Amino acid sequence: MPPRYYDEGHSDYHRWNDQELVFYLRWEADTHREHRDFGQRRVEEQREYWGWRHEHQDRDRDRH
């Protein structure tokens, strides 16, 4: 099972699967960032990603 990341700002979880990776790579491109593993990003950048991610919803995102 893919790992889950807790999105503190939105109080929900996201499964880090192939679909999430596609969104993450799109975020990196849209925000002109070099590729880096999500877990190696600063907390501020991770929060920024989750904010962007919530603006680009999909129906398969986990909510708990």
Indicate whether this model's pTM tops 0.85.
no
How far apart CA 34 and CA 18 sit, in angstroms, is: 19
Number of Cβ within a 10 Å radius of residue 44: 8
pLDDT in tens, 4-55: 998 888 898 989 999 999 999 999 999 999 999 999 999 999 999 999 999 9
